Amino acid sequence: MSSDTDHIPSVMYDNTKAISYKKGRYFGKGGFAKCYEIIRDNDKQSFAGKIISKNLIVKQNQKEKMTQEIQIHSRLNHQHIVEFFGFFEDHDNIYIVLELCKRRSMMELYKRRQVITEPETRYYMNQIVSGVHYLHSHRIIHRDLKLGNLFLNDNVQVKIGDFGLAAKIEFDGERKRTLCGTPNYIAPEILSKQGHSFEVDIWSLGCIMYTLMVGRPPFETSSLKETYAKIKKCDYKFTIALSPTAKHMIMIMLQSDPSQRPKISKLSHHDFFKGYCPASLPVSCLTMAPRFDKLEVPSPGQYGKGTALKDIQGQQATAHKDNSIAVGLAGVPQHHNSFSDVDNLRVIRSLIAKLIKSSPRMLQSMTDEMTDPAVQPTVWVSKWVDYSDKYGFGYQLSDDTVGVMFNDTTRLMILSNGKNVQYVDQDGCEEYMTVDAYPKTLEKKVKLLSYFNRYMREHLVKTGAQVCKEYDSLSRQPHLHQWCRSTSGVLMQLNNGTIQVNFRDHTKVIICPLMEAVTYVGEDRSFLTFRFAMLTKLGCLSILYEKIRYTYDKIGVLLEKKD
Distance CA 28, CA 371 (A): 8
173 CB-near residues (< 8 Å, 6+ apart): none
Strands (E), 31-131: 33-40, 46-53, 84-89, 93-98
Are the C-beta atoms of 330 and 307 separated by less than 8 Å?
A: yes
Angle of CA points 21, 23, 25, to nearest 5°: 135
Tell me the three-class secondary structure of 311-324, residue by residue. Answer: CCCCCCCCCCCCCC
Q: Give the span between the Cα atoms of 483 and 487, in whole angstroms.
A: 14
- Phi, psi dihedrals of residue 63, rounded to the nearest 5°: -65, -40
Long-range contacts of the stretch 351-359 (C-beta < 8 A, 24+): 351/511, 351/513, 351/516, 351/532, 352/511, 352/532, 352/548, 352/549, 352/551, 352/552, 352/555, 353/552, 354/532, 354/536, 355/532, 355/535, 355/536, 355/540, 355/545, 355/548, 356/549, 356/552, 358/536
- Cβ contacts of 44 within 8 Å, gap of 6 or more: none
Cα separation of 267 and 104, whole Å?
A: 26
CA–CA gap between residue 495 and residue 480 (Å, rounded): 6
Tell me the CA distances in angstroms from 240 to 115, 145, 323, one per residue in order.
11, 24, 9
Backbone angles phi, psi at 121, to 5 degrees: -60, -40
**What gap in Å lies between CA 399 and CA 383, rounded to an integer?**
11
SS3 535: helix
Measuring CA to CA, which residue among 515, 529, 520, 523 is closest to residue 550? 520
Annotated catalytic sites, by residue?
Answer: 144
Burial of 501 (0-12, 13-18, 19+ CB in 10 A): buried
173 exposure class (CB count in 10 Å sphere: 0-12, 13-18, 19+) = exposed
**What separation, in Å, do the N-terminal and C-terminal C-alpha atoms of the chain show?**
44
Largest CA distance in the chain: 76
The backbone torsions φ and ψ at residue 85, rounded to the nearest 5 degrees and listed phi first, read: -105, -15
Q: Which amino acid appears at position 452 of this protein? A: F
φ and ψ at 114, to 5 degrees? Answer: 70, -55
Count of Cβ atoms closer than 10 Å to residue 496 Cβ:
23
